[in-house]
Amino acid sequence: MILRTTVQGVFETNAYFYVDDETRHGFLIDPGAQADALLRIIDERGFTIEKILLTHGHFDHIGAVEDLRARLNVEVCMQHNGRVYAENPVWNLSSYFGLDMTLDDVTYLDDFSTITLAANENFGVKLIPLAGHTTDGAIYYSAADSVAFVGDSIFLGSYGRTDFPGGDEEILFANLKARLLTLPDDTVLLSGHSDPTTVADEKNRLWFR
């Protein structure tokens, strides 16, 4: 099961529940704000969240993490370059809005590692590093469900900004070409700030061609 919910902080951000239908255990991806609203969904749906997964460390993707962790007592994971975003409010952009947000006790994951559920080891995602929007950018890909949670690396009809700390347009385009748009054409791309798209659709956009 994939459930998208749009949370409202400084910006609107898509948070995703990726949950095993059989066990009702799963992952929560990019909880950027409104911890109480996300907790209500967890309670109403009977979900057990085993891990919080972050596609990158910008504040609008991590804003509800500490409140959720306090209630759920779950592991928080991000790509191994994420420490500077987790620990530095300038890099995670929260300082620009007077928030000075940081994260502690993060598990930093190796590139191309597989994250599975304790409740079902056959249910999981692969972390594919995709720097460019940030140095810690990552996508979480499930071949079984033909879906990738792509954060702000790509959107419906466009791609992520590269003018923030750690951003690099050349690196982003190279990684999109080599690591994301080489996934099967029917892969659904679920981003942080747009409706879904697919690999096939984005390969045919003018911005890519």
pLDDT at 75 (0 to 100): 97
Residue pair 154/191 in contact by the 8 Å Cβ criterion: yes
CA 150, 136, 95: angle at the middle one, nearest 5? Answer: 100
Task: Per-residue pLDDT tens, the chain, 209 aa: give them.
Answer: 999 999 998 889 999 999 999 999 999 999 999 999 999 999 999 999 999 999 999 999 999 999 999 999 999 999 999 999 999 999 999 999 999 999 999 999 999 999 999 999 999 999 999 999 999 999 999 999 999 999 999 999 999 999 999 999 999 999 999 999 999 999 999 999 999 999 999 999 877 77
Q: Taking Cα atoms as reference points, which of 65, 47, 46, 67 lies closest to residue 56?
A: 65
* Alpha-carbon span 111 to 12, nearest angstrom: 28
Q: Which domains does the chain have, with CATH numbers?
A: 2-203 (3.60.15.10)
pTM for the model stands at 0.96
Q: Taking Cα atoms as reference points, which of 63, 58, 110 lies closest to residue 84?
A: 58
* Alpha-carbon span 121 to 119, nearest angstrom: 7
* Alpha-carbon span 146 to 44, nearest angstrom: 27
